[in-house]
């Protein structure tokens, strides 16, 4: 069994390596939060380089089947479930039971894949920005795969899905700065809540201590789904967030991060969003629009982007009088004297090498935002 530690943002590279090697087996991941404390463990199962399960520990066969069916259709007949289970010859095979349910047209493989994709994306979204510990085993103890061809979830498609989820999270900003935000009940609003389910949820889960992610984990729900409900409750005046109000948010210094990696952007959001008004862009065009529309105090710029080289974008910005004094930090995996010299010639103020920890990022950002361009 291989065990190793990984830095923030490094996990995506390690997992991509598994896919390229067409690895099969189980990967147990123990991420750490920004304070360095160990968080909930997660498990990914690979089959021939594709992920076929992502979530907490792999549940027993019958429990997993129940969770899938509850998600697809809670009203599925127990008779059908009993039939599919009894027809299974392997007591530990998840795929065999699901195959029997597909064969009698109770569910489809597409529905099963959609459920697993949602679970996996939620797990990846939380894990990828963090540092932590990774354990690999060649034995998976899970035979799940989808369709007649027994395929899994494609890594490139998952990364694209994470991009789309990031856009949905951005739509909740600044009301909900991030998944790490902590909701608080507006006490005087409780007597006005007519729906008992809403009142019970708020009284049980919203205690001013747990973040959206922590609440979602305990509810075994997607944090984005929970956040959308909380967004509506903020609009109704039922809850607020203790990290900031909308007014405070707009009074904070604005930092723009330009990077086409959803992993890097999630890391930036996790580390910076509770201190700064953080704007995100995945390409140069969107970045220029945001720069022209907002008073940006600092630009974090990826060196390698699909549409333009970061150095070229830096030169372009320096040619515009408005951005002569804008602090620009080049974020890159390329270290070395030559690259740093190229950055200085192009007009960057500092190089920040990936992967970086939260303390380093906060220190550099604070230096430029609070002190100006040194």
Q: How confident is residue 46, by pLDDT bands cut at 50, 70 and 90?
A: very high
Percent over 90 (pLDDT), the chain: 43
Q: Is 15 in the same domain as 121?
A: yes
Strand 25-31 and strand 132-137: the pairing is antiparallel
**Residue 150 covered by a domain:** yes
The H or E element that residue 135 is part of is strand 132-137
Are the C-beta atoms of 239 and 261 separated by less than 8 Å?
no
Looking at residue 216, what is its pLDDT? 92
Q: How confident is residue 356, by pLDDT bands cut at 50, 70 and 90?
A: confident
Q: Is 36 in the same domain as 122?
A: yes
Say which range, 33-37, 139-143, 253-257, has the weakest mean pLDDT: 33-37
Q: What is the CATH number of the domain that holds 347?
A: 3.40.50.2300
Looking at residue 39, what is its pLDDT? 67
Q: Which of 130, 182, 164, 364 is nearest to 255 (CA)?
A: 364
User: d(Cα 85, Cα 136) in Å, to the nearest integer?
Assistant: 30
Q: Is 268 in the same domain as 207?
A: no
**Residue 346 covered by a domain:** yes
Percent over 70 (pLDDT), the chain: 90
* Domain total in the chain: 3
CA distances (Å), origin 247, targets 71, 168, 321: 39, 22, 30
**Residue 173 covered by a domain:** no
Which phi and psi angles does 230 have, rounded to 5°? -65, -35
User: d(Cα 203, Cα 212) in Å, to the nearest integer?
Assistant: 15
How would you list the strands of the sheet with 350-353, edge to edge?
A: 277-281, 254-258, 296-302, 328-332, 350-353
This prediction's pTM: 0.72
Q: How far apart are the first and last CA of the chain?
A: 48
Strand partners, 134: 4, 29
Helical H segments across the chain, by residue range: 11-20, 61-72, 78-86, 94-103, 109-127, 155-171, 196-205, 212-219, 223-235, 246-251, 262-272, 284-293, 310-318, 337-346, 358-371
Q: Is 272 in the same domain as 155?
A: no
Strand partners, 132: 6, 31
User: d(Cα 284, Cα 301) in Å, to the nearest integer?
Assistant: 10
Are the C-beta atoms of 159 and 110 separated by less than 8 Å?
no
**Residue 309 covered by a domain:** yes
pLDDT averaged over every residue in the chain? 86
List, for residues 86-139, the tens digit of each pLDDT value. Answer: 999 999 999 999 999 999 999 999 999 999 999 999 999 988 888 899 999 988
Q: Is the pLDDT of residue 38 over 80?
A: no
Looking at residue 337, what is its pLDDT? 41
3-state helix, strand, coil in the chain (%, to 5): 45, 20, 35
Owning domain of residue 21: 2-167
Are the C-beta atoms of 313 and 210 separated by less than 8 Å?
no
Q: Is 230 in the same domain as 195?
A: yes
Q: Which of 231, 273, 280 is nearest to 252 (CA)?
A: 273
Please give the structure tokens belonging to residue 78.
Answer: 């127990």
**Residue 172 covered by a domain:** no
From 112, 136, 167, the end of a domain falls on 167
Q: How confident is residue 156, by pLDDT bands cut at 50, 70 and 90?
A: very high
Q: Is 88 in the same domain as 190?
A: no
Q: Is the pLDDT of residue 49 over 60?
A: yes
Q: Is 152 in the same domain as 50?
A: yes
List, for residues 203-249, the tens digit of each pLDDT value. Answer: 999 998 898 988 998 888 899 999 999 999 998 989 998 544 444 45
Q: Is 146 in the same domain as 210?
A: no
List, for residues 304-342, the tens digit of each pLDDT value. Answer: 777 777 888 888 888 898 998 899 998 887 665 445 455
Q: Is the pLDDT of residue 197 over 80?
A: yes
Tell me what the mean pLDDT of segment 276-292 comes to. Answer: 88
Q: Which of 254, 252, 329 is nearest to 294 (CA)?
A: 254
The H or E element that residue 328 is part of is strand 328-332
Please give the structure tokens belonging to residue 41.
Answer: 């463990």
CA distances (Å), origin 160, targets 21, 31, 260, 331: 20, 22, 11, 21
Q: Is the pLDDT of residue 296 over 90?
A: yes
Q: Is 230 in the same domain as 259?
A: no
Whose tokens are 């979602």? That residue is: 216
Q: Is 40 in the same domain as 13?
A: yes
With H, G, I as helix, E, B as strand and everything else as coil, classify residue 359. Answer: helix
From 241, 263, 282, the end of a domain falls on 241
């Amino acid at each position: 069994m291989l065990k190793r530690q990984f830095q923030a943002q490094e996990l995506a590279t390690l997992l991509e390596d598994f896919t390229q090697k067409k690895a099969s087996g189980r990967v147990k991941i123990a991420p750490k939060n920004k304070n360095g404390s160990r968080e909930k463990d997660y498990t990914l199962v690979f089959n021939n380089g594709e992920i076929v399960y992502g979530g907490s520990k792999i549940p027993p066969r019958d429990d997993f089947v129940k969770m899938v069916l509850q998600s697809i259709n809670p009203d599925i007949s127990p008779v059908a479930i009993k039939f599919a289970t009894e027809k299974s010859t392997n007591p530990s095979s998840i795929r065999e039971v699901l195959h029997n349910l597909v064969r009698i047209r109770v569910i489809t493989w597409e529905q099963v894949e959609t459920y697993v994709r949602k679970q996996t994306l939620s797990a990846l979204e939380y894990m990828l920005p963090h540092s932590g510990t990774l354990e690999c085993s060649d034995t998976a103890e899970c035979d799940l795969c989808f369709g007649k061809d027994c395929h899994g979830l494609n890594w490139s498609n998952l990364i694209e899905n994470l991009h789309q989820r990031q856009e949905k999270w951005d739509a909740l900003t600044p009301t909900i700065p991030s998944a790490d935000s902590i909701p608080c009940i507006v006490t005087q609003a409780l007597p006005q809540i007519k729906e008992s389910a809403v009142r019970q949820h708020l009284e049980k889960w919203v205690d001013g201590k747990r973040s959206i992610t922590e609440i979602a984990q305990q509810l075994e729900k997607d944090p984005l789904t929970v956040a959308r409900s909380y967004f509506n409750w903020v609009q109704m005046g039922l809850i607020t967030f203790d990290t900031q109000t909308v007014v405070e948010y707009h009074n904070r210094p604005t930092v723009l991060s330009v990077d086409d990696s959803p992993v890097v952007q999630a890391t930036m959001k996790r580390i910076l969003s509770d201190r700064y008004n953080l704007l995100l862009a995945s390409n140069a065009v969107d970045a220029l629009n945001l720069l022209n529309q907002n008073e940006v105090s600092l630009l974090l710029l990826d060196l390698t982007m699909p549409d333009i080289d970061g150095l070229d974008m830096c030169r372009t910005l320096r040619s515009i009088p408005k951005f002569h004094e804008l602090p620009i930090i080049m974020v890159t995996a390329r270290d070395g004297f030559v690259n740093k010299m190229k950055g200085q010639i192009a007009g960057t103020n500092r190089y920040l090498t990936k992967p970086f920890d939260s303390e380093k990022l906060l220190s550099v950002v604070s230096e430029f935002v609070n002190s100006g361009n040194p």
